[in-house]
Amino acid sequence: MIFPMKGIEIVLCLIPRYYIETNSKGEDSMKALLICGSPRKEGNTEILLNKARERLVNRGVPSEVVLLAEHTVKPCIACEGCKKLMDGTCSIKDDDFHSIFEKMREADAIIVGSPVYFGCATSQTTGLLHRAGYVSSANGNFFKGKIGAPVVVARRAGQNFTYAQLQFFFTINDMIVPGSTYWNVAFGRKKGEVTDDKEGIETINHFADNVADLLQKLV
Ligand SMILES: Cc1cc2nc3c(=O)[nH]c(=O)nc-3n(C[C@H](O)[C@H](O)[C@H](O)COP(=O)(O)O)c2cc1C
């Protein structure tokens, strides 16, 4: 009895403890998408999201950071075209919205990062979320049951408001929002300054661990 038990233990040890193998749709693995709403490449939001991505990847969650700075996403024009089309698309076709929206639909966790601009999320961030939310709700809600959460960075003030602002998207879209040991906010103005905010980085790392834990529970 002792030796077979040991054999089982050895086999179990070879499986990474936190590895998430399949999602509820039977796909290969639970995926996370991290959307960076800063127009500035290699800035503080991107740094924070990459910290979260690294953590998620180490926990076996394939994760991708999409930079809105590299894409053009026009704002919602309230044409109601998505409600007429009813085919899961937005009527605006001449920008990069649909390639990002497709990734949002495929992801099991959507983390949206934005710098604070005049106390609010950037127009790049809200432009994407307005269209994604409207197309989704016109088509039966693509985001239902997915994990969603904000990450926010600013020089001095406005993080809490912007964090709350982004929460409205996740909670109206029937999503599940994990927390951390603090809100997902950090300080920094110039590129890279956010790495000096040790508590902010710890909060994001812990948050990413919670996302991985939650994904595992949702498999
Ligand atoms: C147009 C603009 C508005 C800003 N408004 C605020 C603000 O309201 N509060 C604040 O603390 N920082 C504000 N900032 C500073 C940015 O939030 C800060 O530099 C942040 O780190 C930028 O993130 P990024 O490096 O990811 O682009 C503003 C910056 C810009 C360019």
Say what the pTM is. 0.91
33 domain residue, yes or no: yes
Q: Look up the domain containing 196 and give its range.
A: 27-218
130 domain residue, yes or no: yes
6 domain residue, yes or no: no
8 domain residue, yes or no: no
Q: What is the CATH number of the domain that holds 205?
A: 3.40.50.360
12 domain residue, yes or no: no
Determine if ligand 1 sits within 6 Å of the CB of residue 38.
Answer: yes
Per-residue pLDDT tens over the stretch 2-14: 334 444 433 333 3
For a pocket test of ligand 1, which of 42, 47, 123, 155 has the largest count of ligand atoms closer than 8 A to its C-beta? 155
For a pocket test of ligand 1, which of 117, 122, 124, 201 has the largest count of ligand atoms closer than 8 A to its C-beta? 117
Contact yes or no for 16/61 (Cβ under 8 A): no
Per-residue pLDDT tens over the stretch 44-93: 999 999 999 999 999 999 999 999 999 999 999 999 999 999 999 999 99
Task: Give the strand pairing for 32-36 and 63-67.
Answer: parallel
20 domain residue, yes or no: no
14 domain residue, yes or no: no
170 domain residue, yes or no: yes
CA of 192 to the centre of ligand 1 (A): 13
- The number of folded domains in the chain is 1
